[in-house]
Structure 1
Amino acid sequence: MSFDTLTLVLAANRGTGLEPLTIDRPKAAVPFGGKYRVIDFTLANCLHSGLRQVLVLTQYKSHSLHKHLRDGWSIFNPELREFITAVPPQQREGLNWYGGPFDAIRQNRYLVERSPASQVLVLVGEAIYRMDYAELVRAHRESGAQVTLAVRGIREPGSGVQPLVRLDGEGQVLGLSPAPAGASGDPGSGDETLSTMGVYCFEKSWLLAALDPAREGPDLDLGLDLIAPLLGDLKACGYRFGGERGRVTPDRYWCDLAGIDDYYQANMGLLRAAPPLDLYQTDWNIRTYQGQFPPARTVPGVTSGTEGIFVNSMLSAGTVISGGGVNQSILFPRVRVCDGAIVDSSILFDGVQVGPGANLRNCIIEKDVQVPPKVRIGFERTQDSERFTVSPGGIAVVPKGYRF
């Protein structure tokens, strides 16, 4: 498996729906779940699936992502032909940047050609899910298909993001169509409405032949722009996500974080008594980079002497709650909550400082922001909208570098 499959992880997307979290980083590098980055879930899937030759195609403001790959994922041995390598645009096919997923692969055709692999696994690095790719590749080989698409059931006809798929009784793809906007997906649904997931296994020879034609203009989706026009001349099969095959416990969770509300709800879901995505599964742990910070702790406030408390929250290393209160929230490393401050149903990124008496509710605070004493955020939508981005669901996002 290690050397017969070349893996391409698409991580060039800006993630416009997640602004302002993606002003200075790509979607794949957005922090998630208290200590992770979004791309960690895809790379952890690769690690557990025995995939050891991984190219990460990057583009938009990629320094943060490259640094994370260097610090957290330099774990393979190049002397054994193992690698996780970032590949920004090389402009081998002209002077253009990546115009989309099809174009990103086409511009790196030479990397595919020189690989000894028989299959090319193309993955989206911008979604949260667990999946045993080894079983997908095995099913691909068993079917004799040129292309295998991972598909998932959804509650309504489309999530507005991934294309819809029609399969026949034997699992072969009959058609692909754009998803109508506005409906919400349900990764655990048994409904027969199926959607793609941005996960594809190609026969390398077929993929290289399909990359030959020159294309004009940007492309948006591999299913619609590469596979759909050629369906009449190839065997394409669907692979059901969350089935019984595979070694990972099938929690059947998948989220593409299409907007701020999706991102917020995905994080808050981790705090449920029975979370839809269980980070504490021992059979499929998620790897990431962690700084060498001291343990999180609660201490009495210096002035009030009131004990610092937290309820049903995630606290990462280096966090100190000094006489403040944290409820139903996720705190990334090195957060400090000072005397009398209250943090409720919020997400605080690395290095956030919450001043004495501040009150935060239903908000996301970006890295290193210093919230002054007695500031209130998340209580008056009109007032918040004048200062910050506020999502349709009412989540206030304080951007990086904001000065109160």
Structure 2
Amino acid sequence: MNNHLLGVIDATTYHEGLDELTIHRSLAAVPFAGRYRLIDFILSNMVNSGIESVAIFPKYQYRSLMDHLGSGKNWDLNRKRDGLFFFPSPMLDSPNNGIGSFNHFAANIDYFYRSSQDYALIANCFTIFNMDFTPVLERHIRAGCDITTINKDGQPLEIYLVKKSLLINMILSRGETGYSCISDIVSDIHHPYTLCTYEYTGAAVMVDSVQTYFHASMDLLNPPIWKDLFLIEQPIFTKVKDEPPTRYLNGCSVQNSIVANGCQIEGKVENSIISRGVKIGKNTIIKNCIVMQKCEIQEGCVLDSVILDKDVKVEKGTHLSGTETSPFVVRKGTVQGALMNS
């Protein structure tokens, strides 16, 4: 039954609350948990559910996304038949009204015609969760639903299951119906379709602001939440990078933190997430922070409630601080110096 399901990931979403992290990348490619990207979760969920054909529909700043996913090899999607497909939007100036733009789909309608699967799962790229979609499809068919929306605590996760032939009809009739996307239909109480809901009971967070991103990241330091998200039987896949283990030098201290490989730590790290290839100097204190790939934090720095994007350099003696509700964000590739912050 799983082979009847087609995966469609809408990677066109833009959230103003994430401006600082999406200037150089799409929302789907935002790093998370030290070694993953946001899109890894929905893509891994699809693969773990037996989906063998996945189409990704990006719009802006998708170079880093394509670099991360490549041929799809790390998700077992580099296939001669089916596999991973990219369909960038040809309509850059058109507004995004919701998940699953019919105009975007219409520009690539051949993909849907040529696909052998009977049903399509249309999902956003920014929900952090671990879910098997097989029971959703089974209940959708058994109950005779036209559209099934997946909810968490009664609120939609913007993930929809629909029969492919019905989806094609929705795309072709968008001019007459006025519906521009799947979410338009779901939000209209007068729609003519049989709408079903499926309640997901596991952990799930929709990352739509710096605050939700920061809280979702910090929650990973709670072992029960980590175990609920990263399941042995349903792994979250990501791009494999061959890097050496992290070096913990004399005098360093690491407590309640996630540290990826390839780092060099001489200072103190507490309640933080440290990505690959990060360097932390002597007498430096990192607390409640998210430090992305290949950042360098020199000697004598103090960082509290800070998000450092990739390739940031924090010069010797610099103090940076934010709060739990308003973390201080440093943009990718910039330099932070003690004189700049004095």
Q: TM-score w.r.t. structure 1 length?
A: 0.76
Question: Which whole-Å deviations, capped at 9, do the CAs of 1:271-311 have from their partners, x for residues lacking one?
Answer: 124326645421221110132111012112xxxxxx11101
Match of 1:313 in 2: 257
Instruction: Pick from 282, 286, 289 the counterpart of residue 239 of structure 2.
Output: 289
* Cα separation, partners in 2 of 1:262 and 1:221, compared to 1, 3 Å: farther
Q: Distance in 1 between matches of 2:277 and 2:131?
A: 31
SS of aligned partner of 1:289: coil
SS in 2 for 1:139: helix
1:210–1:226 CA contact under 8 A, matched in 2: no
Q: What SS does the corresponding residue of 1:20 show, helix, strand or coil?
A: helix
Letter in 2 for 1:369: V
* Identity level (%): 26
| Counterpart position of 1:195 | 155
| Conservation of the 8 A alpha-carbon contact between 2:271 and 2:287 | yes
- Give 1:370's aligned residue: 313
Within 5 Å, which residues of 2 pair with 1:113-124?
113-124=113-124
**Offset of residue 120 of structure 1:** 1.3
Partner of 2:65: 65
Shift of 1:392: 8.4
Q: Which moved more, 1:274-283 or 1:202-211?
A: 274-283
Q: Which of 392, 395, 400 does residue 327 from structure 2 map onto?
A: 395
Task: Give 3-state SS (helix, strand or coil) of 1:61's partner.
Answer: coil
Corresponding residue for residue 146 of structure 2: 146
Secondary structure, aligned partner of 2:167 = helix
Instruction: Give the drift of 1:32.
Output: 0.3
Question: Per-residue deviation at 1:69?
Answer: 0.9
> Structure 1 residue 53: deviation in Å?
0.7
Q: Does 1:340 align with 2:272?
A: no
Match of 1:76 in 2: 77
State how far apart, in whole Å, the 2-side matches of 1:364 and 1:60 are: 23
Q: Give 1:367 deviation, angstroms.
A: 0.6
Letter of the aligned partner of 1:233 in structure 2? Answer: P
**Secondary structure of the corresponding residue to residue 373 of structure 1:** coil
1:235 corresponds, among 183, 189, 194, to 194
Aligned residue pair count = 331
Offset from partner CA, 1:51-103 (integer Å, 9 cap, x none): 00110111110000011110664523523x23012211256xxx865744323
Q: 2:55 aligns to what?
A: 55
SS in 1 for 2:8: strand
CA–CA distance in 2 between the matches of 1:296 and 1:321? 8
In the other structure, the counterpart of 1:275 is: 225
User: What's the offset of the Cα at 1:236?
Assistant: 1.6
Letter in 1 for 2:104: A
Q: Where do 1:10-29 residues align within 5 Å?
A: 10-29=10-29
CA contact (8 A) 1:38 1:127 kept: yes
Instruction: Tell me the residue number matched to 1:326.
Output: 269
Alignment of structure 1 residues 245-264 onto 2, 5 Å: 252-264=202-214
TM superposition shift of 1:117: 1.9
Alpha carbons 2:185, 2:191 under 8 Å: kept: no
Contact 2:129 2:229 in 1 (8 A): no
Which of 253, 274, 292 is the aligned partner of 1:349?
292
User: Cα gap change, 1:118/1:279 in structure 2, threshold over 3 Å: closer, same or farther?
Assistant: closer
What stretches of structure 2 of length at least 5 have no aligned partner? Answer: 337-342
* Aligned-pair Cα RMSD in Å: 2.4
Instruction: State the 1:14 CA deviation.
Output: 2.6
Task: Give unmatched runs, 5+ long, in structure 1.
Answer: 154-193, 243-251, 301-306, 382-390
SS in 2 for 1:275: helix
Match of 1:351, as an amino acid?
A: K
Summarize the alignment of residues 93-132 of structure 1 with structure 2, pairs less than 5 Å apart. Answer: 99-100=96-97, 101-102=100-101, 103-132=103-132
